A and B are shown apart, each in its own frame.
Chain A
Amino acid sequence: MDFDVNYLLAQWPALFAGLLMTLRVSLLAIGFSLLIGVLGGGVRALRVPLLGPAVALYVEVIRNTPILVQLFFIFYGLPAIGLELSLFWSGVLCLSLWAGAYQVENVRGGLATVEWGMHEAAFALSLRPWHYFCLIALPIAFRTSLPAMLNTAISLLKNSSYLQAIGLAELTFVAVDRIATDFRALEMFSAICVLYLALVALLALAAGRLAAHLQRPFRP
């Protein structure tokens, strides 16, 4: 079996469109999942009554069920009770909820490393609890949990390929769609493997730059 590079070059526009869709879904979902993570992690760390256990249950449910079933539940199940979302937003919602559960744990882990002395110092400076959380605890927690957050973001990017199953035209969907007509599985799958690896590497690079930036000493 020969490897046809020209075929890949001819298919590049379709692959590029898929790549853009993957990026769009993933970046939106990474943003939303971080939001869920910060809110949920804060609720967990501050032991808010009722909300804390609710967040814990959400995390357990997401972590102990397959993402594919979650996706089908959101895309096919929710419209059955009147909650209709478009293909794109179903995908974003699924990925955000999935990664959000992991980000909650990441943020909670980061918040747990913030020393209690910080809290006392903030209290002595008469900062409100809200200010303490946003200005002191969260920035410190963010630095410690950045590697874990990056891992979750990378998993999210890889899991965006599950959206192929509901028919969102992202990278994997494009590849499988082309294979169904042209039977060029080797070329297509090699190409999308390389593209996914490149996306993961880019994301890791960006997070590395951010971590280096945060490591620099503070100068007013």
Chain B
Amino acid sequence: MNFLIENWSFVAKGLWMTVRLALVILLFTTLISALFGILATFRQRALRWAIHGYVELFRSIPLIVNVFFIFFGAPMLGLDFTPFAAVTTGLTLWGSANGIEIVRGGLESVPRHQWKSAWALGLRPWQIYLHVIVPQSLRAILPAFTGLLTMLVQATSLGALVGVGEFLKVGQIIIERATVMTGVSPAFSVYGMVLLVYFVICSALSWLSRYLERRLGRPAMRAKGV
């Protein structure tokens, strides 16, 4: 426990790296999910199958294999990835597979008649998306995306395995140092603290997700007359 307090600047650096990883991955995941999630609702069958294949593939292979594949495999294809880039790429590929499903599901949850009404009012397709479909689908998308962010924050701990100096890695280094210096391993208390910090961050995000679900879910319930 005191190990974390004694090394607080080191710990803060690790936490900041975790946050940075999560934010960078969230940014790319959001962009890719929004683009391909919308494309997945289009009529082109080949396009839909391609996106479906991507989603199923990246949701079916273990995340750690995905990250290792990029970390060990990229240099052999002539790409030079830093550990940070490898983790970001791997988690973004995985996160977008989940994100695309969320966006597609959200867009398809908007009732069909909204489309037809907007069409009858003479709106163009992009106007229908922008003014009718997307605002309504956000109700389903936002809570689920906050849930995905919780999973992303947890998944950044994979960085420790390929050598990104994030929170878990910092914990490992502190344990190693303390074991060398004192001869006793503080693994129990340090990993306990690491668990606690992740728990606080992710619980807050989970709570936010549930809050959004309650908050945004209400108007739809009223419309249905419940």
Given contacts A64-B203, A76-B175, A158-B61, contact A185 B73 (CB under 8 A): yes
Interface presence of B30 (CB below 8 A): no
Interface of A is mostly: helix
Contact in complex: B61, A193 (CB < 8 Å):
yes
Report the interface size for chain B: residues with CB under 8 A from the other chain. Answer: 38
Report the interface size for chain A: residues with CB under 8 A from the other chain. Answer: 39
Measured between beta carbons, the chain B residues less than 8 angstroms from A206 are none
Contact in complex: B187, A69 (CB < 8 Å):
no
Contact in complex: A80, B62 (CB < 8 Å):
no
Given contacts A193-B65, A196-B61, contact A69 B72 (CB under 8 A): no
Measured between beta carbons, the chain B residues less than 8 angstroms from A161 are 62-65
Q: How far is the CB of B177 from chain A (nearest CB, A)?
A: 14
Q: How far is the CB of B31 from chain A (nearest CB, A)?
A: 24
Measured between beta carbons, the chain B residues less than 8 angstroms from A160 are 62
Contact in complex: B185, A76 (CB < 8 Å):
yes
Contact in complex: A200, B60 (CB < 8 Å):
yes
Q: How far is the CB of B102 from chain A (nearest CB, A)?
A: 16
Contact in complex: B76, A185 (CB < 8 Å):
yes
Interface presence of A183 (CB below 8 A): yes
Contact in complex: A159, B62 (CB < 8 Å):
yes
For A179-206 the 0/1 string (1 means CB < 8 A from B) is: 1000101100100110011001000000
- B168 touches which one: A68, A80, A164 (CB < 8 A)? A68
Interface presence of A73 (CB below 8 A): yes
Measured between beta carbons, the chain B residues less than 8 angstroms from A66 are 154-157, 168, 198
Number of A-B contacts (CB under 8 A): 113
Interface presence of A162 (CB below 8 A): yes
Measured between beta carbons, the chain A residues less than 8 angstroms from B60 are 158, 196-197, 200
Contact in complex: B202, A64 (CB < 8 Å):
yes
Cα(A54)–Cα(B72), bound, Å: 42
- B203 touches which one: A60, A77, A81, A158 (CB < 8 A)? A60
Measured between beta carbons, the chain B residues less than 8 angstroms from A5 are none
Cα(A76)–Cα(B57), bound, Å: 33
Measured between beta carbons, the chain A residues less than 8 angstroms from B68 are 172, 176, 189
A-B contact sample (5 more), CB < 8 A, given A68-B157, A186-B73: A65-B202, A160-B62, A162-B64, A189-B73, A196-B62
Q: Which A residues lie at the B interface, using CB under 8 A? A: 1, 60-61, 63-70, 72-73, 76-81, 158-162, 164-165, 172, 175-176, 179, 183, 185-186, 189, 192-193, 196-197, 200
CB<8 Å pairs between A and B, sample of 16: A63-B202, A64-B198, A65-B195, A65-B199, A66-B155, A66-B168, A76-B175, A76-B185, A76-B187, A76-B191, A77-B187, A77-B188, A161-B63, A161-B65, A165-B161, A196-B61
